[in-house]
């Protein structure tokens, strides 16, 4: 039974990933530092079904405390994972514009500590969660992994993710670390962070409040349902387990950008109300469009997203209604 260490296991994507890995027969080590970006209670709810599983072990841990903290949490050799999936990061483009140093600290320094721990423990396989934000406002559509990204990043968050990719390459080159960098594209679905657009839109619509539209509504995002992203990550884990000495970067998107006004209409339909719009200036750091070329992920991993937007939104709204008391924590 292979063992996978998942950093950021209590978060939106991390908790879904751990559930899928456990269902597929993996042993899972999970860590999270419960960053106060949003309410800890929501992450604890995400953890509840995992903690009951006999093949899941959790540690509360901040990666910025370095290799010694990781060794104390999982002493060698019994708790040495076969693969590390590094999801933990300080999230959000807008907040990174206001607090750039916090993002470099949590996303770059913490990643360096994790990589150094992996080196000293001879852990040779890493899946690093990167972001579509590294493409910035590139004019080449759809976004292709071969794009040259010098001077592409327009937010500290994007810069921190691209720096993480550079670090993984350094450790691959020097220490033979096998790496798959997975660039996520606007993941949504049940347990989505309360600061993200779809979550905010549903709450506003249900409260009868207008939805803010930044710019003229033509910005577009490649919305990807969480189960599809997680499927890509699990395929990436299996790829790493069966390949030695690799270094690859793939887009895990949906290959269909949805304009903002179209998204708002789809969310309103899922909620069953009419949307009122409040036009506002564009926000600093926001890109115009994200659009994933997923042909490499299809070829390398067999990745094939399955969930239409309407179905994904239906599942999200259903989850939010079922967790009404908990969801209120995020408002």
Q: What is the pLDDT along the chain (331 residues), one digit of tens a residue?
A: 899 999 999 999 999 999 999 999 999 999 999 998 889 999 999 999 999 999 999 999 999 999 999 999 999 787 899 999 999 999 989 899 999 999 999 999 999 999 999 999 999 999 999 999 999 999 899 999 999 998 899 999 999 999 999 999 999 999 999 999 999 999 999 999 998 999 999 999 999 999 999 888 889 999 999 999 999 999 999 999 999 999 999 999 999 999 999 999 999 999 999 999 999 988 887 889 999 999 999 999 999 999 999 999 999 999 999 986 544 444 4
Closest CA to 107 of 172, 67, 163: 163
Angstrom CA distances, 290 to 33, 78, 144, stand at: 29, 42, 11
3-185+225-253+292-305 placed in CATH 3.40.50.1460: no
Contact 196, 169 (CB under 8 A): no
Helical segments of the chain, H only:
12-23, 40-51, 67-73, 93-98, 100-104, 110-120, 156-175, 197-206, 226-242, 260-271, 295-301, 309-322, 324-327
* Active-site annotation holds for 157: yes
The answer to whether residues 103 and 96 touch, using CB atoms and an 8 Å cutoff, is yes
Contact 132, 184 (CB under 8 A): yes
The pTM (predicted TM-score) of the whole model is 0.95
Point out the catalytic residue in the list 103, 157, 223, 239: 157
Q: CA 49 to CA 56: how far, in whole Å?
A: 10
Task: Judge whether 289 and 219 are in contact, CB under 8 Å.
Answer: yes
Sign of CA dihedral 14, 255, 300, 302: positive
How many C-alpha atoms does 225 have within 13 Å on its Cβ side? 16
User: What contacts 249, CB < 8 A, 6 or more positions away?
Assistant: 130, 145, 165, 180, 181, 182, 183
* C-alpha distances out from residue 10 to 47, 77, 88, 323, Å: 6, 25, 9, 17
Closest CA to 28 of 62, 51, 48, 61: 51
């Amino acid at each position: 039974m292979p063992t996978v260490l998942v950093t950021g296991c209590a978060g939106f994507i991390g908790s879904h990933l751990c559930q899928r890995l456990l269902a597929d027969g993996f042993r899972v080590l999970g860590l999270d530092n419960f960053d106060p970006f949003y309410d800890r209670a929501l992450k604890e709810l995400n953890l509840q079904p995992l903690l009951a599983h006999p093949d899941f072990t959790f540690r509360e841990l901040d990666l910025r405390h370095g290799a010694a903290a990781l060794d104390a949490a999982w002493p060698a050799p019994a708790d040495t994972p076969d693969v590390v999936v590094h999801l933990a990061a300080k999230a959000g483009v807008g907040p990174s514009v206001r607090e750039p140093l916090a993002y470099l600290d949590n996303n770059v320094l913490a990643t360096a500590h994790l990589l150094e721990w992996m080196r000293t423990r001879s852990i040779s396989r890493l899946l690093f969660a990167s972001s579509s934000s590294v493409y910035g406002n590139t004019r080449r559509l759809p976004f292709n992994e071969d794009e040259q990204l010098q001077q592409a990043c327009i937010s500290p968050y994007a810069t921190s993710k691209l720096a993480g990719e550079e670090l993984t390459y350094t450790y691959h080159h020097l220490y033979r670390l096998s790496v798959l960098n997975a660039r996520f594209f606007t993941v949504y679905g049940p347990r989505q962070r309360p600061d993200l657009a779809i979550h905010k839109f549903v709450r506003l619509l249900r409260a009868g409040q207008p939805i803010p539209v930044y710019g003229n509504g033509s910005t577009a995002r490649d919305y990807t349902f969480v189960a599809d992203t997680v499927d890509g990550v699990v395929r990436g884990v299996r790829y790493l387990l069966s390949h030695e000495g690799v270094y690859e970067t793939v887009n895990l998107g949906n290959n269909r950008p949805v304009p903002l006004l179209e998204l708002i209409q789809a969310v309103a339909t899922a909620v069953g109300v009419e949307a009122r719009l409040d036009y506002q200036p564009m926000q600093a750091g926001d890109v115009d469009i994200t659009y994933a070329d997923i042909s490499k992920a299809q070829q390398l991993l067999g990745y094939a997203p399955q969930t239409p937007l309407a179905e994904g939104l239906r599942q999200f709204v259903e989850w939010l209604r079922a967790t009404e008391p908990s969801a209120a924590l995020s408002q």
